[in-house]
Amino acid sequence: MRAAVGPGPAMSASPPVETAETPRICVCLCTCDRQDMLPALFAALAAQTLPGPLTVFVADNGAEPADAVVAGLRSEALTPVYRRVAEPGVTPARNAAMALAVDAGFDYLAFLDDDEVPEPAWLEELVKTALAERCDIVCGPVEPVFGGPPPAWALAGRFFCKSGETLCSSNLLLRAGALPADRRRWFYPEFGTTGGGDREFLKRLVDGGARTAVAPRALVREHVPVARLALGYMFRRGLRDGMTDVQILKRRRPTLWRVWLGSAAIAARKLGYALNHLLWSALCPERLASAVADAGHVCGIVLRLSGRRVRLYGPASRRGRTAG
């Protein structure tokens, strides 16, 4: 575990209350067939400036178990706790990692992806912000590390950058006391193979009163392979977002007609965006990528309303895998 310097909140209902007790910090990591990226990630976690040893809960549901790799990355600075998850998809892995952390009594759970590497001050900045702002959810920025020369549209549109303003799990700190007591209300299973479950879950926490903040200096760098530097990837990313919108509406709208009405409104707006981007794409190449993503968004809405689902997460979906 990591000990943060200064007073911290105890496990209690929102808003967090400062006590003299030092909060316990851990990292929750989901991994799926990315054993080659784990050494760089664990080295960066071992170099964190937050004092004390760090516990890393690793939930793995890849086709090839990563237990041997994870065990070999144990050090004085890091204590990995490995859990093999049988169910495919990102949701079972997230819930398994969170359960391990909560059962072990940790106060704050930090999340990042298995294709990311945090800066040395990452955890310290997240915790500092959580304590200073007395909040339950802290997000930080994500900057890309391209696996090859990126096209002009990828740089101009900043499609692979996150400022921390958008709630997601790729750079996240959660106060354990803000989690639902009923674990069935953690990450919902229907988002497991399509992604978007983190967006739904964090928005649900905010709707329930959780407080949020951004830690602008808690930087994480994400590996972006060449396969993502294509318009086809932008379409699949939009497809995921469209399916996520419908699934969220199904969870929150009591009647089918309200789901259809809400979905139609989103689809109409996205279609308008796509046409506008397409109109300007000759002058700004990034607008074409935006148009393709918006078109994918509309297609995702139509597919989900028709009862179909595209698998984007899991061992059999490596090409289409997108950030959740």
Residue 194 pLDDT exceeds 90 = no
Nearest to 323 by CA among 200, 175, 169, 202: 169
Residue 323 pLDDT exceeds 50 = no
Specify the range with the lowest mean pLDDT, choosing from 14-18, 214-218, 270-274, 293-297.
14-18
Q: Is 272 exposed, middle or buried (0-12, 13-18, 19+ CB in 10 A)?
A: exposed
Residue 85 is given by DSSP the state -
Residue 59 pLDDT exceeds 70 = yes
Q: Does domain 2-228 have CATH number 3.90.1010.10?
A: no
Residue tagged 């952390």 (tokens): 101
Residue 238 pLDDT exceeds 90 = yes
The amino acid sitting at 316 is A
Q: How far apart are CA 140 and CA 165, in angstroms?
A: 8
Tens-digit pLDDT profile for residues 129-180: 999 999 999 999 999 999 999 999 999 999 999 999 999 999 999 999 999 9
Q: What is the mean pLDDT of the chain?
A: 90
Nearest to 126 by CA among 196, 218, 203: 218
Residue 60 pLDDT exceeds 80 = yes
Angle, nearest 10°, between helix axes 285-305 and 231-252? Answer: 40
Residue 324 pLDDT exceeds 80 = no
| Domain spans, the chain | 2-228, 231-305
CA distances, 14 to each of 5, 110, 132, 179, 232 (Å): 22, 18, 15, 10, 42
Residue 183 is given by DSSP the state G
Give the tokens for residue 319. 């090409």
Q: Which long-range contacts (CB under 8 A, 24 or more apart) does 150-155 make?
A: 150/224, 150/229, 151/229, 151/285, 152/285, 152/286, 153/285, 153/286, 153/288, 153/289, 154/229, 154/286, 154/289
Contact assessment for residue 60 and residue 67, using Cβ atoms and an 8 Å cutoff: yes
Q: Is the peptide bond before 15 cis (omega within 30 degrees of 0)?
A: yes
Give the tokens for residue 116. 């990311």
Query: Which residues, including other chains, have CB under 8 Å from residue 304's CB and lie 6 or more apart?
Result: 242, 243, 246, 247, 263
Mean pLDDT of 85-104: 96
Contact assessment for residue 71 and residue 80, using Cβ atoms and an 8 Å cutoff: yes
Assign residue 246 a region (left: φ > 0; alpha: ψ between -120 and 50; beta: otherwise): alpha
